[in-house]
Amino acid sequence: MSNDLGKLVLRLTLGILMLLHGIAKLSAGADGIVGMVASYGLPGVLGYLVYVGEVLAPLLLIVGLWTRPAALVVVINMVVAILLAHMGQLGQLGKSGGWALELQGFFLFTAVAVALLGGGGSAWAVGSTDPFARSNTAPWHYLWSLPMFKVPPVTAERLQLLLRAMPKAELHIHIEGSLEPELIFALAQRNGVSLPYASVEDLRHAYAFTNLQSFLDIYYAGASVLLHEQDFYDMARAYLARAAMDNVAHAEIFFDPQTHTARGVAMETVINGLHRACADARSELGISATLILCFLRHLSEASAFEALEQAQPLLDKIVGVGLDSSELGHPPEKFARVFARCRALGLHRVAHAGEEGPPAYIWSALDALKVERIDHGVQAMHDAALMQRLAQDRIPLTVCPLSNQKLCVFPDLKNHNLRQLLDAGLCATVNSDDPAYFGGYINENFTQVFAATAMTARHAYQLAFNSFEASFVSNADKRVWEHRLKETFERFVEHD
Ligand SMILES: Nc1ncnc2[nH]cnc12
Ligand SMILES: [Zn+2]
């Protein structure tokens, strides 16, 4: 609240004081400025742009519409004014001992501050509620989020190949959801576990889900075959081999330890098996992979704390924590204290929110859990202020199109809102969630959602770029993969 009030004061001060200069120029005319511009050998007519910088932009600042771009215009106006009229005073002090350009300096840097901060949510800010809400996002966020080169059009057929060939990161994959029915039966036999399904076909037949819970019931039953470190290794190694075929350069893998420790499996059995698979895949397949420990939200806060305590000696083998399982009725704030502890331990934080649950769950994942990414998040579309927050803070969404289709979040893939999320400037990514259950790995998610919603090569580039940007790897690794991405697109276009 006081933050918003501070921004409002700053915006109104800049707008009103600058507008007074504009009004003076309206009544005296812009001839002086036109002449000054012409004296530099430039078209004098450019001098009339002063009305944009000192009348139009201040009016936008006062009403709070397109606040950040308007402030940027004032910044440009002030830089031009200093270059044209005040360069001689740049290093001088005035009569009273202050900087000779303190007035210009105040205008310039106040405008820079407003451009950085935005207008502040307020009944006075049109931009906080109207369809122009996006304009409150820093303009350079849009520049930064745009592909670094112009992506030429690619035919629909070639686009499908490009989607498969482009390097990408997978940031939302539950390793237990990569257990194919064949491996479930092989592990059941190896470990003497009996399953309530007669055959692989019988199990596959049960994969007809109506919502998240109908899937989770079968998913936890499937995970019951995992007992020994080698089982966790085999599962993760199989996923990583499959992901490498889809040109996944980096995967951040979720695992649900509480579903295993509840059956008497030790935390170290789970983590050591998964970690060894990641290490081997890196040296044998060249794929990078890290682990994210997820707390089950249908269990208690105490159970989550217990899981964290068990994982404490193994924290060097995980990069972060997440929150998954049954969303409705289990709002994120239930785990605020656990996530605060994880934050203090230096762990990255993500949470499933807005898969089936309301936008309020996304707000509380951000504010109560302080997560850095939202898993799914597709329900954000119903809340304009939330969309603005996600765009402005560039909070990535790890979207899973086939999962959303199979769990009836959207009636059909053609109704999926991935394209709208991207076009609204959000840092969306494509992922597989539980590929063994939802009909496809990451490339299937890309190709099917692109075919269903007619997205373009530019969207493809943006999604792959976002996946690296949103990952928890070093900036150096991000740049290497982004460079490879650009090379792949250039190669494709050359041969188009
Ligand atoms: N889609 C999903 N949502 C919540 N929890 C999950 N665990 C595995 N898949 C999940
Ligand atoms: Zn998930």
Cα distances (Å, whole numbers) of residue 145 to 189, 288, 429, 460, 481:
49, 24, 13, 13, 16
Ligand 1 atom at minimum distance from 400 CA? 1
Ligand 1 atom at minimum distance from 434 CA? 9
Ligand 1 contact via 261 beta carbon (within 6 Å): no
Per residue in 42-93, pLDDT (tens digit) is 888 888 899 999 999 998 888 888 888 899 999 998 888 888 888 878 888 8
Closest CA to 464 of 164, 255, 32, 44: 164
Ligand 1 contact via 67 beta carbon (within 6 Å): no
Q: Which of 297, 325, 328 to mutate for ligand 1's pocket (most ligand atoms within 8 Å of CB)?
A: 325
- CA-based Rg of the chain, rounded to a whole angstrom? 27
Domain 156-494 of CATH type 3.40.50.300: no
pLDDT classification of 149: cutoffs 50, 70, 90: low
pLDDT classification of 2: cutoffs 50, 70, 90: low
Q: How far is the CA of 4 from the centre of ligand 2 (A)?
A: 34
Q: Which of 170, 176, 216, 299 to mutate for ligand 1's pocket (most ligand atoms within 8 Å of CB)?
A: 216
What's residue 320's pLDDT?
A: 98
Distance CA 267, CA 495 (A): 50
Per residue in 252-271, pLDDT (tens digit) is 999 999 999 999 999 999 99
Ligand 1 atom at minimum distance from 174 CA? 8
Ligand 1 contact via 469 beta carbon (within 6 Å): no
DSSP 71-99: HHHHHHHHHHHIIIIIGGGTT-B-TTSSB
Q: Where in the chain is the domain with CATH 3.20.20.140?
A: 156-494
Q: Which of 433, 437, 438, 445 to mutate for ligand 1's pocket (most ligand atoms within 8 Å of CB)?
A: 433
Residue nearest to atom 5 of ligand 1 (CA): 325
Tokens found for residue 14: 């800049």
What's residue 185's pLDDT?
A: 98
Ligand 1 contact via 180 beta carbon (within 6 Å): no
Mean pLDDT of 272-282: 98
Per residue in 168-204, pLDDT (tens digit) is 999 999 999 999 999 999 999 999 999 999 999 999 9
Ligand 1 contact via 355 beta carbon (within 6 Å): yes
ipTM > 0.95 (yes/no): yes
What's residue 86's pLDDT?
A: 82
Distance CA 220, CA 50 (A): 66
